[in-house]
Chain A
Amino acid sequence: MDFFDTAPEAEFRAELRAWLAAHRPAPLPSDPEGRVEALGAWHRALAAAGYVGLAFPQAYGGRGLPPTFEAVLNDELGLGGFPPPPAIHHITNAIRLFGSDEQKARHLPSMLACTERWCQGFSEPNAGSDLASVRTRGTRGPGRDGAEIYTIDGQKIWTSEAIWSQWCLLLCRTEPDASAHRGLSMLLVPLDTPGVECRPIVTAGGSREFAEVFFAGAEVPAANLLGEPGQGWAIAMQLLGYERGPGDIGWVARLMRMLTLLEEDIRAGRVVTDESGRRQVARAWVTLEALRLHVARTLSSRLDGSLPGSEGSIDKLLVTEADQVLNHVIMDLRGASPLVADEAWLDAYFWSRAQSLFGGTQQVQRTIVAQRVLGLPR
């Protein structure tokens, strides 16, 4: 048990810190569209400097480093008050683990460079927590030129970042005769395919983060199948394992940044509070620190090459708690500012409410922990 950096981690940390010091971005704009654009530029800059995809093979633009380096990245971004890294590693890992050599070579470099964005087409109006009841169909058959294709019909919802994305990782039903879970496959779908339409859903915080995505006879080559026919559920579960990892997805950095900024504003006298407020900040730090340490432990448990499993739901529950505790404190201590001046804080507050919904609701996570970690009967 050693929480110290290894020599390569220390070297990486120093190099990263020097790079960050020289590349601090301008404060993010507070309007949602401007933020998306500024964050995109930040992510491309991080990627160009080699800080995206640390654990990915160098052949695909990664660094080939152990998973614990993601903890170092989260630390340095969060403690330095830098914007978080791109939340892409649920999708990148799905392609790394299940993609063909051609698919990996085609997609991973542009994903890790943050030049192509992906969204995740999972939820449907009637398939939320009950994901296995997905109805969107991918029908396989010969296309007009005789080559094998999938023809997609159906609708997705809550598709994050769809309107800014070029590609969608689509969970759909391709084997109508198989049972619910076994009938699903994963397709790689370009969003400019004829028959695909994205309609933004404005979030409670005012951002066009979500979308409905409609598929009406959209055709993709059969070569765009990820993994095997019927493997969609297994891929989705592995993907969710990464999406629930607050270190993999950058949430630790995101929350540490918000706390770092609050603490700095208190130290500098820009936010004034009493002893009770100071204790609330300390409580938020204790909660967030427990998350950060737990995530470092989780990443260490993968040093032997193992993949995220059911116990990752504990990490998701911890990040949910930390996010929501922290945003209560921020809203309380920043007083009127989030309500009359700086809408970014209000957006962050609503995000903290989404934290207990996306990637599987807090209730779904608790059911997973109860049944698969504690072994309670189904």
Chain B
Amino acid sequence: MDIRLSDEQRMLIDIATRLGTDLAPSGVAGLAAATRSAGDAAGWSSLVETGLIALHVPAERGGGGGRTVDVALVAEQLAAALVPVPYVGAAVWAPTLLAAAGAADAVEAVAAGSLRLAPVLRPDLGGLARLGEPGIAFDTQGADAGLLLDADGTPHAIAMAASDSASHEGGSGRGGVAVVSADLTRSVRVVPADAPVADLPVRLGGPLDGDARTRADAVVLAILAADLLGVMGRALDDAVAYVGQREQFGVPVGSFQAVQHLAAHAATLVEGARSSMWHAAWAADELPADAALLAARQAKAFCAAAARDVGETAIQLLGGIGLTWEHLAHVRQRRILLARRVLGDEQAQYAAIAAARLTPRSAAAPHASAAPHGAGQARGETHPAPVGSI
């Protein structure tokens, strides 16, 4: 094993960090729905030109030929900068489903920036909605249509209104109705059960089998973990910088142990989250689908729990200023609260992990034994079940 960033990965992080700086909102005012929409097209073309859309999809399926780890590192940096573009939904999730469905032309259109699709989730945000069910379209900014699967796992596109800037009182008719999103950096829309199918110039491919859906879930969970990591990491960085210079009692408040220990605990969570996320993103490409999903659930669970804590710690460290509308701290926390819910928060992951790991061996899927790094593939047989006291 060699769990270090390669030179290429460091370069990619630099590129994504620079893009993030360029595309970051100019404070909370820059996140008003109208302002956001105005800057969106330019932001999206920057991502297209840099080749960051559908980057993880193999070239023969219309993507950029990179790895899920690459996309995760990009998603982390864009989230850290609170860039209000639908990277997770439109640049990762939708092309992941389309690639699995064999729709190379559609992936190519997505990567070229000529097609933007927003995944449609169940109303509880815990998974993709099915065709014919009501849902919430996620990351709808600039979306041409919503994307969901039917009962057979075949992708379908759902018509969307023309613009997200309509806001909650002005949803225009045909498909999704824009609603207020708690997360000021993302747009969402309510999709009625009878939303009409969208007429797209490309076909969206055939049904995804169980394995393909499992792997797609693993990819998206890993990227959501990366998004959470990016937001919490920057939240902590900002709070640490603040307590380092904010003075009370004639000294920086960051010199007090009570303050230092809050920050140190948060830093511990951030690094545990990073190690978990790297593994999940790596596993999404390298391990069998079930093991990849388990790794992704581990990372999502850890990051969902950690991000809320770290975001709250950052607000505590900032004092009252952190709870004002003008400060980005609440924007971060809003993004964390939405991302932790999408595809299930830590409690949902614990339930799924328990089902996978604690089911009696005879009835369990082959992955039921732990899938450690490397060993998941390297080992031909599992250990005999250990019995007894410690």
Is chain B found bound to chain A in the same assembly? yes
A-B contact count (CB 8 A): 230
Taking the complex as formed, is A140 at the interface, i.e. its CB lies under 8 A from any CB of chain B? no
Complex CA gap A345/B390 in Å reads 7
Contacts of B390 in A (CB 8 A): 28, 257-258, 261, 344-345, 348
Does A193 count as interface, using CB distance less than 8 angstroms? no
User: What A residues does B18 contact at CB under 8 A?
Assistant: none
Q: Do A13 and B379 touch across chains, with their CB atoms under 8 A apart?
A: yes
A48 lies within 8 A of chain B by Cβ: no
Other-chain contact of A301, B4, B257, B354, B370 (Cβ < 8 Å): B4
Contact flags (1/0) for B25-65 with A, using CB distance below 8 Å? 00000000000000000000000000000000000000000
14 additional A-B residue pairs with CB within 8 Å, beyond A268-B385, A371-B260 = A3-B279, A13-B375, A263-B357, A278-B350, A281-B357, A282-B354, A294-B276, A297-B3, A303-B2, A318-B271, A348-B390, A367-B264, A368-B264, A370-B263
Residues of B within 8 A of A294 (CB): 271-272, 275-276
Contact between chains at A10 and B272 (CB < 8 Å): no
B353-390, CB < 8 A from A = 353-354, 357-361, 364, 369-370, 372-375, 377-379, 383-390
Contact A376 B255 (CB under 8 A): yes
* CB nearest to A4 among chain B residues: B374
Q: Complex Cα distance A337/B69, Å?
A: 44
**Of A275, A300, A344, A378, which contacts B1 at CB under 8 A?**
A300
Q: Is the CB of B261 within 8 A of A6?
A: no
| Cross-chain contact B298 with A5 (CB below 8 angstroms) | no
Distance, CA A216 to CA B97, complexed state (A):
74
The contact of B353 among A81, A282, A291, A292, by CB within 8 Å, is A282
- Complex contacts, B259 vs chain A, CB 8 Å: 376
Query: Are B350 and A374 closer than 8 Å at their CB atoms?
Result: no
Enumerate A208-265 residues with CB–CB distance to B below 8 Å.
Answer: 257-258, 260-261, 263-264
In the complex, A258 Cα to B286 Cα: how many Å? Answer: 28
Please measure, in the bound complex, the distance between the C-alpha atom of A355 and the C-alpha atom of B263, giving whole angstroms.
21
Q: Is A9 an interface residue (CB 8 A)?
A: yes
- Contact of B350 with A283 in the complex, beta carbons under 8 Å: yes
Q: What secondary structure prevails in chain A residues at the interface with B?
A: helix
**B388–A27 touching, CB < 8 Å:** yes
Beta-carbon nearest neighbor of B301 in chain A: A286
Q: Is B282 an interface residue (CB 8 A)?
A: yes
Q: Is the CB of A285 within 8 A of B267?
A: no
B319 within 8 A of A: no
Contact of B260 among A2, A275, A370 (CB under 8 A): A370
CB-CB contacts of A273-295 with B at 8 A, as 1s and 0s?
00100111111011101111110
Contact A290 B1 (CB under 8 A): no
Q: Contact check, A261 vs B386: say whether CB atoms are below 8 A apart.
A: yes
By a beta-carbon cutoff of 8 Å, the part of chain A in contact with chain B is: 1-6, 9-10, 13-14, 17, 20-21, 27-28, 30, 68, 71-72, 75, 79-82, 257-258, 260-261, 263-264, 266-269, 275, 278-283, 285-287, 289-294, 296-297, 300-301, 303, 311, 314, 317-318, 321, 342, 344-345, 348, 363, 365-371, 373-378
Query: Which A-chain residue is minimally distant from B286 (CB atoms)?
Result: A4
B312 at the binding interface (Cβ < 8 Å): no
Instruction: Indicate whether B349 reaches chain A with its CB closer than 8 angstroms.
Output: yes
A30 and B389 CA atoms in complex are apart in Å by 8
Residues in B with CB closer than 8 Å to A317 are 264-265, 268
Q: Is the CB of B1 within 8 A of A80?
A: no
Count of residues in B whose CB is under 8 Å from the partner chain: 67
B248 within 8 A of A: no
The answer to whether A75 touches B372 (Cβ under 8 A) is yes
CA A376 – CA B260 in complex, angstroms?
7
Q: A1-B4, A267-B359, A367-B264 are in contact. Are A293 and B384 (CB under 8 A)?
A: no
On whether the beta carbons of B261 and A366 are closer than 8 Å, the reply is: yes
Query: Whose C-beta in chain B lies nearest to the C-beta of A345?
Result: B390
- Note all chain A residues with C-beta closer than 8 A to B271: 294, 311, 314, 318
21 pairs, A vs B, C-beta closer than 8 Å: A1-B3, A3-B374, A6-B2, A264-B385, A267-B360, A278-B358, A286-B301, A289-B298, A290-B276, A290-B298, A293-B276, A293-B278, A294-B272, A296-B1, A296-B373, A301-B4, A344-B390, A366-B261, A370-B261, A376-B243, A376-B254
